[in-house]
Amino acid sequence: MKKKVAVLLGDPSGIGPELVVRLLNEDISNEANVVVIGEKKILEDGENISGKKVDFKFVTDFNEVQFDDKTKFFLDISKGTNRTYKHGEVSAESGKSVLEAMDYALDLAKEKKIDAINFGPMNKTSLMMGGCQYNDEHDFMQNKLEMKEFCCEFNVVDNFWTARVTSHIPIKEVPENITKENILKPIKLLDQTLKMSGIKNPRIAVQALNPHAEFGTEEKDEIIPAIEEAKKMGINADGPLPCDTSFITAFKNKNHDCIVGMYHDALQCGLKAFGFDRGVTVSGGLTVPVTTPAHGTAFDIVGTNTANLEPTINSFKLAVKMNSGTQIN
């Protein structure tokens, strides 16, 4: 049976709505049973920008959705408000719209009425202005789904995955969080996730924290012990690799399937340099696959219909294929 995928339009002030409309005009969108959750006005804006239409059956309640492998549904949650949004700027209104759609989709996921969520790019500042009480959308989703186990953000390019020990924290706070226990968490989660995605024995590279893996004590005291512990668990872990050459070793030379890094930019700089135009973000460890293109809302080009569709297509493919036990291509 086809997966039931909830697709969200993303921030209405950015490129999300136009990308989603273009995605749903691609053949790949027929690989799942799709229900788009959002406001009809935002959908129409995306259609006007993209110059494309989607043949939807419009409903106002999920109980009206009866998947039949052919019909795409649009679940209108606007409740007659008919709000309008300005392009190209952060706003509380846009952030609130995103939160409402995501909240609805997560409720459906908790009730096991959908199998995956794929969303257009969001803007973190607008989310905060709109009432989000968490660090980002990943924390919001984790709390909404009542997750007690470790969760983290994954980024994926060409089926090469990254995970990090620390994420959106000041760089001065990173060293105190580099502990054996904290390092093991993303290693184990990445190993589990890649196995569910079809990679039988994931080759996991682990980055160093310090330059050349030698100007400090964290490698000896915490990182190497974490790698050795992972090996005892049967995980194919390797490292620590110096950050400045880790993506050449692991990604370009195809010696590994993924990298665990110690902090945000040590991973994001490398991954975006090699494949920013193809990247996907995955909210790892949740009870439902959640994916989005790795880029942002691109306020500078919204309305021009020039945004690259490839990351959106890749994120939809990943949402459909995760947990299917098949290799992701």
pLDDT digits (tens, 9 = 90+) for 140-152: 999 899 988 888 8
Encode 198-214: b = buried (16+ Cβ within 10 Å), e = exposed: bbeebbbbbbbbbeebe
pLDDT digits (tens, 9 = 90+) for 261-281: 999 999 989 888 888 788 899
**What's the average model confidence in pLDDT over 286-308?**
94
Q: Do domains 1-154+278-329 and 159-275 have the same CATH topology?
A: yes
Helices (H) and strands (E) in the chain, counts: 12, 12
Domain boundaries, the chain: 1-154+278-329, 159-275
Encode 1-10: b = buried (16+ Cβ within 10 Å), e = exposed: eebbbbbbbb
pTM for this structure? 0.89
CATH number of the 1-154+278-329 domain = 3.40.718.10
**What's the average model confidence in pLDDT over 176-180?**
97
Choose the CATH number for 159-275 among 3.30.930.10, 1.10.238.10, 3.40.718.10, 3.40.50.620: 3.40.718.10
Please compute, for residue 302, the number of CA atoms within 13 A of its CA located in the half-sphere on the CB side: 23
**What's the average model confidence in pLDDT over 78-105?**
93
d(CA 278, CA 5): 21
Token pair, residue 249, equals 């070793």
